[in-house]
Structure 1
Amino acid sequence: MEKATLTTGQVSVLDGIERAVRDFPEHAALRTDRSISYREFGELVDAFAGRLSARTAPGEFIGIRAERGAAAIVAMVGALRARRPFVFIDGRDSTSSNSDKVRLLGVRLLAGSSAGAPAPDLAEVPAQWRPSDAAASPLATSPGPAALPAFADGELAYAIQTSGSTGRPKCVLVRTAPLAAVIRDHVERLDVGPGCVTLQFARLTFDGCVTEILWTLTVGACLVVVEEAHLAPGAVLRDTLERFGITHLKTTPFALTTTEPDGLRLRHVVNGGGACRPAVVHKWSAVADFHNAYGLTETTVCNLLTEPLDPADCRESVPLGDVVGDCDYWIRDVDAPAPDTPAAGPVPRGELVVTGASVAAGYLTEHGVRPFARPGAPDAYRTGDVVELRDGRLYFVERLDRQVKVRGYRLDPGEIENAVCRLASVRDAVVVAEAHDGAGGADPSTADALVCYYQGDADARALRRHLGALLDPYKIPSVFTRIDAFPYTPNGKVDRDALRARRHEAAGDDGTPASPGDQVLHVVRTLTGTGDIGLDDNFFEVGGDSASAIVLVTRMRELGWADAGVRDVLRAENLRVLADHLAERSV
């Protein structure tokens, strides 16, 4: 394989693309419904950049329709060439969301394609997305507070909205310069060059697309762009990987868990966008060099990337990797009196803080740009992710905002998920705090149980034994529910509300069994997720606890045992005793 020419951090992404056009003019740059050579790609980019420069002012944002095809890729690179920042706009998103983007960024023109043509058109933004008054964007009229500097010509590369998973989406402004080092490190670690074929997997409104596109086009490799219908995890995605001879793939934990890789030509596979499990490493490293990646929208896509992982080193958990691009990090002690200052000594566990040039310019708000760094302080972004440093390697634990309090204990669900996934027969797991009886929905104040949803062949008894050797008793989930596949939100995150609703719907599907013994077994199986419970089992030995005992008492009262109490459950040698009492008292 010919080696890439992008070798130093001083080479911009545009320099890399220009070299690829010059050195590999007849190589395929893009494959969509047809193949586009680097010569043609360079001509399309030059033509679009010229038209864009003529119709826009320096610093003006250009909108790009987030439609899969050559035109969007040409428009993205053309905007970089013209030194105009861009934002992808997806017509499938709500009108209000797209209107917010257009108004906030002052977008006048939208690049798109006519009938799939590779040359992007430039047209006025659709009327339904335009602001209803004459107010310009904060960025167009003012750099915000007086202390903020104006952005230099070409300083900004793009704007992108966060997923909004923890609230309203935020508009992040990302600089151009840090992209060079990020892409350089991907090229070197993934050994990308002419002859390699990358599948453009991420939606264009997700910043993961930036690394896929640029690590490919800066070194003369080929980027395959297909409709989303051909990217569905499982058999469909596998067919696409095989049909196009994909060698480089970056995708999500869901896709990696669902898709079987046997027989593919893959050389390098990257997990991104979520926690990586040992089972995924084991499966995919059998066919390719497998890497785990970590990064955030606010810190220029990717900050950590592993070398090829050895499954034998990932039996307990999967590391996040070494620094990518022009950044560094430190771990913040969440209980420290000065939370924004690194501790004098090492902090083995705490919130990850990313520092350096890769930290984005800030959030664009109605009042201007809100930078991530305080005036006079170095660039730094508090990620909200709890990490742990073990033996010199960094591991993800949990989101700070996902920490829960159950029965008086503060817990990190991610720590428990990692422990569950150490069992070889478990592929993935999600742990959430819920109310035993389903009341209160996702309200954390009503949570009295930890529920573990998992994919794999293990049963609840095996999982409890496994966790009993790894975790303190208060960290072991009360309920284990095996499912075939996790539900996901449009942003690619596990839909925990849907999991919760599905469990409680399933609990009521069977109706109330006829005999007292079956009634008791039905309730206990629902409360613990243990499917093979019998009347000779003790309630607390199969996963029952003080909170679920209260729910059990409530159900027995509803079934006719009017004076049932928690002490009856505590004293019962096994479930048969409770069933016999229920039969006697409900006559």
Structure 2
Amino acid sequence: LFEQQVIQNPDSVALVYKDQQLTYKELNEKVNQLAFYLQKRNIGPESMVGVYIERSLEMIVSILGIIKAGGAYVPLDPAYPTKRLEYILKDANIQVLLTQSHLTQWIPKEIDCIDIKEHEMNISREKNINPTIEVKPDNLAYVIYTSGSTGNPKGVLYEQKGLCNFINASINFTKLNTGSKVVQFSSIAFDVSLYDIFATLVSGGTLYVCGQQDIMPVEPLTQFLLEKKITHAFLPPTVLNLLDESKFEELQTVISAGSVCSEQVAKRWVKNHLFINAYGPTEASVATIDIYSGKGTPPIGRSIPNVEVYVLNEAKKLVPIGTVGELY
């Protein structure tokens, strides 16, 4: 899907971080070289590779390179406590970790740590053509860990077919296109990042990666959104509540997720923007979406295409229409 955009829009800007940028052609070539480099380390279908990198172009290149090698990426946010990161490394049995040298002091020596900046010369010697891999729809694409609020974090396994379905649904619902400018606000360890990264690059838009300082509301984030003329933003309601919606004339689509969005916040943003309320635990990968009409409390909407939602009772049995139950 991404390679189609490379063919159609090779010279369009795909990725921006601060004063650095890559066109679709440049990004694809870097990703391909990393994919071949990883394949030489026996990375392929069902291989889980950690991504432990601060916000940067390299963070996005790493994620795409793992996918193109046929593997599944496991995001580790450097802002998370070391204890949580150690648990994820062990639980996912990660043997190869794409990282940065200044982050690796605590990493066990048996893990193959690859600093893609330090290995840049070797990686750049690899072929830059699209690799040929045999990936099936039910092969893993990535693994994201839950917050662990009810115990240890749990790894949620996402397959290629689910990721593709989510990407296509997101592009259609949020009206992404080649002129879209999307902010990459959320941590890659949070499933909202799937929209930011994959939906943007598959639709031919431009992904603007926020620096750590840029994600701070109110003034730094406001400045970033205005300077970059962002058209699409996926932000939590707590952040939307702090921003002045009247300032963002270029902003077309606002997606809210992460916690309950109040009617007050939704009504403010729906006046001049397409406002979408998205819902879904990590296990469901944002399974429902609703385009808010501006009336009443924002509903969680309907499931995205090809996803079934059931209302069950405590015994995991279907409940009658109009009866209270839990979503599955």
Residue identity in the other structure for 1:52:
L
Query: Counterpart amino acid of 1:45?
Result: V
Give 1:180-191 correspondences, 5 Å limit.
180-191=164-175
Take 1:217 and 1:230, find their aligned partners in 2: how far apart are those partners? 21
Distance (whole Å) between structure 2 residues aligned to residue 52 and residue 62 of structure 1: 9
Pairs within 5 Å for 1:96-245: 96-112=83-99, 126=104, 128-130=106-108, 155-245=139-229
* SS state at 2:203 partner: coil
Q: Which residue of 1 aligns with 2:119?
A: none
Report SS of the residue matched to 1:291: strand
User: How many angstroms does 1:126 deviate by?
Assistant: 4.1
Please list the CA deviations of residues 434-487 of structure 1 after superposition, one character each: whole Å capped at 9, or x if unmatched.
Answer: xxxxxxxxxxxxxxxxxxxxxxxxxxxxxxxxxxxxxxxxxxxxxxxxxxxxxx
Contact 1:306 1:322 in 2 (8 A): yes
3-state SS in 2 of match to 1:328: coil
Which of residues 266, 272, 278 is equivalent to 2:251? 266
Selected match of 2:316 from 340, 343, 354? 340
The answer to whether residue 326 in structure 2 is matched with residue 351 in structure 1 is yes
Which amino acid in the other structure matches residue 318 of structure 2?
Answer: P
Structure 2 distance, partners of 1:226, 1:114, is 21
Aligned counterpart for 1:277 among listed residues 252, 262, 270:
262
Q: Which runs of 4+ in 1 moved over 6 A?
A: 151-154
Alignment of 1:474-553 (within 5 A): none
Query: Aligned partner of 2:277: which letter?
Result: N
Equivalent of 1:254, from 238, 241, 248? Answer: 238
2:37 pairs with 1:51: yes
Structure 2 distance, partners of 1:56, 1:91, is 26
Q: Assess if the C-alpha contact under 8 Å between 1:95 and 1:129 holds in 2.
A: no
- Counterpart in the other structure of 1:73: 60
Distance 1:43 1:114, change over 3 A: farther
* Equivalent position amino acid for 1:282 in 2: K
Between the aligned partners of 1:283 and 1:236, the Cα distance in structure 2 is 21
Give the whole-Å Cα distance in 2 for the aligned partners of 1:292 and 1:323.
Answer: 12
Residue 295 (structure 1) aligned with residue 275 (structure 2): no
- 8 Å CA contact retained: 1:30, 1:222: yes
Q: Which residue of 2 aligns with 1:323?
A: 303
Deviation at 1:131, TM superposition (A): 8.1
| One-letter code aligned to 2:66 | A
Aligned amino acid, residue 316 of structure 2 = D
Q: Which protein is bigger by CA-based radius of gyration?
A: 1
Deviates more, 1:190-199 or 1:92-101: 92-101
Q: Among 51, 56, 59, which residue is 1:64 paired with?
A: 51
What TM-score results when the alignment is normalised by the length of structure 2? 0.86
Q: Deviations over 1:394-413 (max 9, x none)?
A: xxxxxxxxxxxxxxxxxxxx
Tell me, in whole angstroms, the C-alpha distance in 1 between the residues paired with 2:89 and 2:105. 11
Letter in 1 for 2:215: L
Q: Point out where structure 2 has 5 or more consecutive residues left out of the alignment.
A: 112-134
248-257 vs 226-235, which moves further: 226-235
Q: Tell me how far 1:324 sits from its aligned partner.
A: 1.1
Alpha-carbon distance between aligned partners in 2 of 1:19 and 1:160, rounded to the nearest angstrom: 27
Would the aligned equivalents of 1:305 and 1:324 in 2 still touch at CA under 8 Å? yes
1:324 and 1:258 map into 2 onto residues whose CA distance is: 29
User: How big is the shift at 1:157?
Assistant: 1.0
The answer (yes or no) to whether the contact 1:304–1:323 under 8 Å persists in 2 is: yes
1:316-465 to 2 correspondence within 5 Å?
317-334=297-314, 339-343=315-319, 345-353=320-328
| C-alpha contact (below 8 Å) 1:331/1:347 kept by paired residues | no
Q: Is the 8 A contact 2:137 2:161 kept in 1?
A: no
Distance 2:225 2:261 in 1: 21
Q: Which has the higher contact order (CA 8 A, sep 6+)?
A: 2
Instruction: Give the secondary structure class of the aligned counterpart of 1:348.
Output: coil
Matched, 1:286 2:266: no
Equivalent residue letter for 1:241:
L
Matches within 5 A, 1:548-559: none
- The Cα of 1:83 is off from its aligned counterpart by 0.9
- CA distance in 2 between partners of 1:113 and 1:97 (Å): 18
Secondary structure of the residue aligned to 1:290 is: strand
- C-alpha contact (below 8 Å) 1:87/1:160 kept by paired residues: yes
Contact 2:180 2:231 in 1 (8 A): yes
Query: Deviations along 1:147-178, whole A, 9 cap, x unmatched?
Result: xxxx9797111111101223322122221211
Three-state SS of the structure 1 residue aligned to 2:144 is strand
Secondary structure of the structure 1 residue equivalent to 2:194: helix
The answer as to whether partners of 2:231 and 2:251 remain within 8 angstroms in 1 is: yes
8 Å CA contact 1:99–1:130 kept in 2: the answer is no
Offset of 1:95 from its aligned partner?
2.6
**CA-atom RMSD in angstroms:** 2.3
2:325 match: secondary structure: strand
C-alpha deviation, 1:325, in angstroms: 4.0
Q: Cα distance 1:231–1:101, how it changes in 2: closer, same or farther (>3 A)?
A: same
Change (3 A) 1:322 1:30: same
How far apart, CA to CA, are the structure 2 residues paired with 1:154 and 1:347?
A: 35
- Unaligned runs of 5+ residues in structure 1 are 1-15, 116-124, 134-150, 354-587
Query: Aligned residue for 1:94?
Result: 81
Secondary structure in 2 aligned to 1:274?
A: coil
Give the match's secondary structure for 1:93. Answer: coil
SS at the partner of 1:129? coil
Name the counterpart of 2:6: 21
The one-letter amino acid of 1:295's match is G
In structure 1, what is the Cα distance between the partners aligned to 2:147 and 2:305?
Answer: 23
